[in-house]
Amino acid sequence: MDKHMKLLRSLDKARGGARVTEKEWDQKILPRTLKEVAKEHGLLGSCDPENPVNSDPQLADAFFKAGWDAAVRLGFFCPDTESVIRVEEDELARELERVPSNFPLGQGPEQVRVPARRPSDGVQPIYCSPLSIQMDEELYVPLVQGILSSRLVDMQEGPSIDTVMGSPLLAHTPYETFGGIYEAHLRKEAQWRAGRVGIGNSLVASSSTHFGFLAAFNLFEQPQLCLCLNPASLKVNYTTFHKAFVTNELGGYVRSESPTMVGGYTGGAETTAIGSIATDLLQFPITGAALPGSPSYEILYAGNCGRKGLWAQSIATQAVTRNTSMPLMKTINQVSGPFTEMFFLETIAGMTAASASGQAFTISPRSAGGSVKNHLTPLECWYNAAVFKGAAGMSLEDANTVCKEVLPRFEGQLFDPPKGRSFRELYDIRALTPDAEYLEMYLKMREYAEGLGIPMPGDGVFC
């Protein structure tokens, strides 16, 4: 009941809070407050794109203090009630003492514990795959079977499907409710085929509203992870509360994600990092999320493997992981696609920075920016996992050196990235084997990563 009470208190605040319009929040309250806070803490102008992974712990701590101030001053905006859910400073401090520092997901031998990590932590993070990239429904089972055939993958989230038995999976309709059920059955089939029964799930990928989630979450033995996607940083909506109540009752854990954008409502790289920290600090007190995640993307190319995206995300991650005991997740958004060298290079930059900065958990890949249907194969997933886990224990200075080495090789293409090829083009889907040329590229890029000082764990299939 304790967890339910927290959600009820948040809902009460959402109903009774001061009314502001979403436009006021987006255009004035949020950006101006973040800028004020950054100015007060002397952080404006501290972004250093030449060194995309911060290695100054004092700067990370200064960002934490600024993020804390922003969290207390702002709270979360609730679009459903057009009001603000505020959290007092003592309440924030009390709640953050209660965040679980680790928690289990999945069952039996497949169960994993999500650990809180700190920068340069030698403890390996948890890798969940793939993101909700759209696939033809007939490709769902073979693709997931392929992905889960490597033990580098600890948990499953995506992909997403856009049809259910040939009918369109329409948002806000009973198709979506059935979509959740249908996806659950496809997952179970694929996990069984891969010999991974009991693996933890982040649910559900094909329906971002509560309809699909409510239909599917109790079809799995708990504990599982509940996927809540909020529209933007420092916002929470009723959909998240619907999901959180059910998750609490069934014994799962909430993962609440709210993206920040460099260039978007949160402003430049410094204020975006502060907005991201504030969002992560407020998730547990407001939604009870055991796994908060406010990734930072760059609005101009919708990814975060460029310099400012890397910098904002890595300093925000370091700030939270150095000063709290909460496990933290953020996604890495590649914009290039499968069978492109750029994809591997983006992955090295994003995953190395994330792992060295103390992220506990990630879900990836976002191959081809997640915008091209069927552009996903198992090899991208395994490569992401190997870099994320291999970079555990790496110093921030070394992570910065790695990023500086790879960035010049792809950053010129961030605005017009190669989309690569599809699962059908790159795999023999019946045999679940990759095209020889693609396999050669994958193995070569593994060697390249190892040459940069990342000890890449084997995928158990090809190496």
Partner 1 sequence: MDDILAKISEAVYEGEEEEVVRLVSQALEQGTDPQTIIQEGGVPALSRLGEDFNNEEVFLPELMLGGDCMKALVGLVSPHLGSDQGAYKGKVVIGTAQGDLHDIGKSLVATQLSIHGYEVIDLGTDVPTNVFLDRAEEEGADIIAVSSLLTTAQYYMGDLIGRLNSEGRRNRFRVVVGGGPVGPDYAREVGADGYARTAHLAVKMLDQVMQNEPGTALVIEA
The binding track of 265-294 with respect to partner 1, each residue x by CB under 8 A or -, is xxxx--------------------------
Cα(317)–Cα(144) distance, rounded to whole angstroms? 29
CB 452 → partner 1: shortest distance, Å?
28
- State yes or no: residue 84 binds partner 1 (CB under 8 A): no
Count other Cβ atoms within 10 Å, centred on residue 118. Answer: 15
The binding track of 230-249 with respect to partner 1, each residue x by CB under 8 A or -, is -xx----x-x----------
User: Is the CB of residue 53 less than 8 Å from the CB of residue 359?
Assistant: no
Among 4, 28, 39, 98, binds partner 1 (CB under 8 A): 28
Q: How many residues bind partner 1 (CB under 8 A)?
A: 43
Stretch that binds partner 1, among 7-15, 89-97, 162-170, 352-360 (CB under 8 A): 162-170
CB 342 → partner 1: shortest distance, Å?
17
CB 66 → partner 1: shortest distance, Å?
18
Residue 122 neighbours by CB under 8 Å, 6+ apart:
392, 393
Stretch that binds partner 1, among 114-122, 169-177, 196-204, 348-356 (CB under 8 A): 169-177
- State yes or no: residue 261 binds partner 1 (CB under 8 A): yes
Tokens 């954008």 sit on residue: 261
CB 211 → partner 1: shortest distance, Å?
9
Stretch that binds partner 1, among 19-27, 343-351, 352-360, 401-409 (CB under 8 A): 19-27
- State yes or no: residue 222 binds partner 1 (CB under 8 A): no
- State yes or no: residue 308 binds partner 1 (CB under 8 A): yes
Q: Is 165 left (phi over 0), alpha (psi -120 to 50) or beta?
A: left
- State yes or no: residue 136 binds partner 1 (CB under 8 A): no
- State yes or no: residue 20 binds partner 1 (CB under 8 A): no
- State yes or no: residue 36 binds partner 1 (CB under 8 A): no
- State yes or no: residue 27 binds partner 1 (CB under 8 A): yes
Stretch that binds partner 1, among 21-29, 96-104, 118-126, 443-451 (CB under 8 A): 21-29
Phi and psi at residue 337, in whole multiples of 5°?
-110, 180
- State yes or no: residue 371 binds partner 1 (CB under 8 A): yes
Among 18, 109, 172, 451, binds partner 1 (CB under 8 A): 172
Binding site for partner 1 (CB under 8 A): 22, 26-28, 30-31, 79, 134, 160-162, 168-172, 176, 179, 206-209, 231-232, 237, 239, 261-268, 299-300, 302, 308, 369-373
